[in-house]
Every structure is written in C-alpha cells, then in structure tokens.
Amino acid sequence: MLRDITIGQYYPSDSVIHRLDPRVKLFWTLIYIISLFLGQNIFIYGIAGVFLLMCIRISKVPVKFILRGLKAVIMLLMFSVIFNIFLTDGEVIFRIWKIKVTREGVVIAVAMAVRLIFLIMGSSLMTLTTTPNDLTDGLEKSLGFLKIIHVPVHEIAMMMSIALRFIPILIEETDKIMKAQQARGADFETGGIIKKAKAMVPLLVPLFISAIRRAYDLATAMEAKCYKGGAGRTKMKPLKYKRRDALAYLVIFAYLFIMIMVKVYVVA
C-alpha cells in the first residue's frame, strides 16, 4: 500500500535523459506545463502527447511505472471530470430527469482529464529520471538569482533534499512499526473511523519519535562535518552543461516554437 507512492521516486536506468543536466529537465518540465495551458485543442494535446511518449521512450522508464503515479490523483481526476460533465451549460446531448449532459461539458471534461494526466506524467518523468540530489542541486542553481533578494536558496534546497531522502526511510519505518504492533495484536483495518483513528496512536507515536531522533542524529552528523549553510560551500561535482544539454535546450525551444505556431495558426 505505502509502496505505491511514487512521488520523488527515482528509476535507475542508463539513458540520455537520465544523464541530462537537472537544470535542463527542470526547464523542460516548466515549458511542458506551460505548453499544456496554451489551449484546449486536439492538435495541442496531440503534439504534447507525442512529445511526452517520445521522451518516455528515450528515458527507458517503463510506462507502467509512470502510470502508477496517477493512482494518487485518481480521485481528483474523477471529481473534475464528473463536475465538468454535469455542471457545464450548452448544447444538451441527453438528459435524465434534472441531470443533463452537454457537448461542451464532455469536451471540457476530457480536455481537463488529458491535461491533468499529461501534467502528472510529465513531472513524474522528471523525478523518475533525476536523483533527488541532482534535482535539488539543479533547483539551487536555477533559483540562485533569488539570493540577491535574500532568499535562502541553499537552505531551502538542502531541506528539500533531506525531506526527499527521508521519504523511503520513513515509509520503511512505518511498515516496520505497523508490523511490530500487529505482532502485539494491534488491528489497523477493522472498526469505525474513531476506532481506526485510535488505532493509529501506537503507530504514530513511535514514528514521530523515531523521526525526531533521526533528525537530531543527522543534525549532529552534519555539524560534526562542519556544515554551516551555503556561504562558501563548494561542490564535489559542480553542475556543468555539456553538448547534449545544449541539444536538449534546442529540442525544448523547437517544441515550444511548434506549439506556439499551432496555437497562432491552427487554433486561432
């Protein structure tokens, strides 16, 4: 159950996309998200879909793996589809009693669903092909300009990478404590909502205690290695653009250009 969470998960493989500079991938995600909002048109979504599938193909990440990330948002997806289908005014296709389904409603619902699915697939492709460390390195560097207005970019990036790093550890810990309490006869599955909430206490208390203990240990270990924040800190593997990164930027701009052209000439 807990293992289904794929947010921030990394899928190890050896592909061009895996080796790209994280800044390129962050930029790609941003551009991709923007492109999805260019308009609700079959051509726009078509090109976005083809582009995404191509990227997934190149990345060698199984499609099944990316689709698993959708499980988490399936409720949200259903909600937006159902509301759009039934609550949009327009040309009525059929009606049962007071509920009516309109052509516009169906179009909007489908468009919304497609957009949401692409959005999540696109961004999970980035996290699946980028190690958490690379990701935060890339973010820190890309947002470096914010330092001018005294945003602690390095600290935020460090917090992010620690948080990401600890997700699997805490999941494992939860699993372990759950089993340990089950071995003592705890029951997490049956009963009403109040009984279930109460059953969480033997799980949550040890989990929080262990998280706090880990945090203390980590802080001590970092201080013992003279960590004192971002100022004057150098990197063992500083990010450097390579030829393939320039090429990737070119592809991204070409994609954006095509999308804008479609928007201007085909859609309008």
Partner 1 sequence: MLIILDKVNYVYSEGSGFEMKALNDISLTINKGEFIGLIGHTGSGKSTLTQHLNGLLRATSGKIYYDGQDIYDKDFNMKSLRSKVGLVFQYPEHQLFETDVFTDVCFGPKNLGLDKKETELRAFEALEMVGFPKELFYNSPFELSGGQKRRAAIAGVLAMKPEVLILDEPTAGLDPKGRDEILDRIKKLHDDTGMTVILVSHSMEDVAKYVGRLIVLNHGSIMYDDEPRKVFAHYKELEKIGLAAPQLTYILNDLNKAGFDVDTGAITMDEAAQAVLKSLGR
Which residues of the shown chain bind partner 1 in the complex (CB under 8 A)?
A: 3, 11, 62, 65, 176-177, 179-187, 201-202, 205-206, 209-210
Question: CB atoms < 10 A from the CB of 237, how many?
Answer: 8
Nearer to partner 1, 102 or 129 (CB): 129
Nearer to partner 1, 159 or 201 (CB): 201
Nearer to partner 1, 11 or 118 (CB): 11
CB of 44 to partner 1, least distance (A): 33
The separation between the first and the last C-alpha atoms of the chain, rounded to the nearest angstrom, is: 46
CB of 200 to partner 1, least distance (A): 11
CB of 179 to partner 1, least distance (A): 5
> For the purposes of burial, counting CB atoms within 10 Å of the CB of 106, is it exposed (0-12), middle (13-18) or buried (19 or more)?
middle
* Contacts (Cβ under 8 Å, ≥6 apart) of 125: 17, 52, 55, 56, 59, 61, 66
DSSP bridge partners of 99 = 96
Token pair recorded at residue 56: 């997934």
Nearer to partner 1, 164 or 178 (CB): 178
Nearer to partner 1, 6 or 136 (CB): 6
Nearer to partner 1, 65 or 83 (CB): 65
CB of 165 to partner 1, least distance (A): 18
| Cβ pair 38, 118 in contact under 8 A | no
CB of 212 to partner 1, least distance (A): 11
* Contacts (Cβ under 8 Å, ≥6 apart) of 30: none
Closest C-alpha among 37, 34, 42, 36 to residue 267: 42
DSSP summary character for residue 267? I
Closest C-alpha among 185, 214, 190, 222 to residue 202: 185
CB of 184 to partner 1, least distance (A): 4
* CA–CA dist 189, 85 (Å, integer): 35
CB of 140 to partner 1, least distance (A): 29
Nearer to partner 1, 62 or 152 (CB): 62
| Cβ pair 23, 141 in contact under 8 A | yes
At 230, give phi and psi (nearest 5°). Answer: -80, -25
